[in-house]
Amino acid sequence: MQVNEILQLVVNRGGSDLHLTVPSKPVVRVDGLLITQDDLPPLTAKDIESVLEQTTTEEQMAAFRSEHELDFAYGVPGLARFRVNALQQRGTISLAFRLVPFNIPSIDELGLPSICKQIVMKPRGLVLITGAAGSGKSTTLAAMINHLNETEKRNIITIEDPIEFLFRSKKCLIRQRDIGDDTKSFSTALRHVLRHDPDVIVIGEIRDLTTISTAIRASETGHLVLATLHSNDAAQTIDRIIDMFPPGQQQQIRLQLGQVTEAVLSQVLLPRIGGGRIAAFEIMLGINLIRTKIREGKVDEITSIIGMCKKEGMQTLDQALVDYVRKGLVAEEEAILKSSNPEKLQQSLQSYSKVLVPNCENMHYIIHT
């Protein structure tokens, strides 16, 4: 089996992922749906081992044989790059390829909220892009970095596992570090990256206590830190970070997060009516009222505050879903499936009306006077 030929097939069919598992036929994910490639033969263990050998170095193969799992990147000149995960299951190898285009899409091309352009221009602070696996976090992050690269002169250093989108320095100076090849771990890289005079630090994924601790410290010392995290919404994101720390440290972390958090963007992907997919976002911004709730440990109030602060650029996921359904972009049943409160979303769709939105900074002033 020639791996480049089957990867060409993925691109030709508009796929986002390719799955190779014994004894199935190749499976391509298109617009979120898994489609078996019935015109191709079932895969043997020898087929998949051959693909792994074609796409890895000797060092990577040795690591896989030792650990029985491996994350790496593979590029096909003139076609695309792929993020690859290899694992062993029932004594055979299983491979998953995620398509990463050579051309980085812009914020406008992806249809991302325009406020993403303002968020990435922040001089300092912590910006988190969250969502489930496969929700498009890496693509959103890449589009935001690309906007900064075309707009401002900043020194950007990324730490990724593996490197996905390849950036060419334009106005910014960009260095990309790969876990495994260029550094041992996120936490190790973060400890040393601060000595490389960065303005912006990009963390491919926050996975542990050491990484988030260092990211918060970097945010406090005048750096803009962009990172992804697996969580469903802004409130859950804040809670998850705080819960990473021992109980005796959690109040201090609340104070620090309340100081440095600039934005949390939580996204889901939905099928678009007419084909393709579209991302819906919950947007939390670090306005004074939100910062106060984080410091006070009243994270459960954040979602309702987000819903009242559309004038400031914030929105809940349900508000975004209602908007998409009303505009005819997403089917109502698909929106309901992605909502964390389906009954409330249905009520919102039935009783949708435009209301005056309060100024949230004034709300904060009133509460504290």
Sign of the dihedral through C-alpha 189, 190, 196, 198? positive
The alpha-carbon radius of gyration of the chain (Å, integer) is 22
Query: Is the same domain home to 91 and 116?
Result: no
With cut-offs at 50, 70 and 90, classify the pLDDT of residue 360.
low
Query: Is the same domain home to 215 and 307?
Result: yes
294-319 tens-digit pLDDT: 999 999 999 999 999 999 999 999 99
Query: Is the same domain home to 75 and 150?
Result: no
In this model, does residue 348 exceed pLDDT 90? no
What's the pLDDT score for residue 352?
61
Give the residue from 66, 100, 134 where a domain finishes: 100
With cut-offs at 50, 70 and 90, classify the pLDDT of residue 2.
confident
Give the residue from 56, 73, 100 where a domain finishes: 100
d(CA 221, CA 95): 41
Total tally of structural domains belonging to the chain: 2
CATH number at residue 275: 3.40.50.300
Spatial contact of 83 and 73, defined as CB atoms under 8 Å apart: yes
In this model, does residue 280 exceed pLDDT 70? yes
Q: How many CB atoms lie within 10 A of CB 16?
A: 19
SS3 135: coil
What's the pLDDT score for residue 359?
58
Query: Is the same domain home to 89 and 129?
Result: no
Query: Is the same domain home to 85 and 119?
Result: no
CATH number at residue 31: 3.30.450.90
Quote the domain boundaries for residue 175. 107-367
Query: Is the same domain home to 292 and 237?
Result: yes
Query: Is the same domain home to 153 and 21?
Result: no
Query: Is the same domain home to 152 and 259?
Result: yes
Query: Is the same domain home to 160 and 265?
Result: yes
Query: Is the same domain home to 72 and 116?
Result: no
Query: Is the same domain home to 126 and 161?
Result: yes
With cut-offs at 50, 70 and 90, classify the pLDDT of residue 181.
confident
Give the residue from 75, 100, 125 where a domain finishes: 100
74-104 tens-digit pLDDT: 999 999 999 999 999 999 999 999 999 999 9
Q: Say what the pTM is.
A: 0.88
Spatial contact of 263 and 136, defined as CB atoms under 8 Å apart: no
Query: Is the same domain home to 271 and 322?
Result: yes
d(CA 118, CA 365): 24
- Of 268, 267, 241, 237, whose CA–CA distance to 252 is shortest? 241
Tokens read off for 168: 């060419």
- Token pair 């914030």 is found at 314
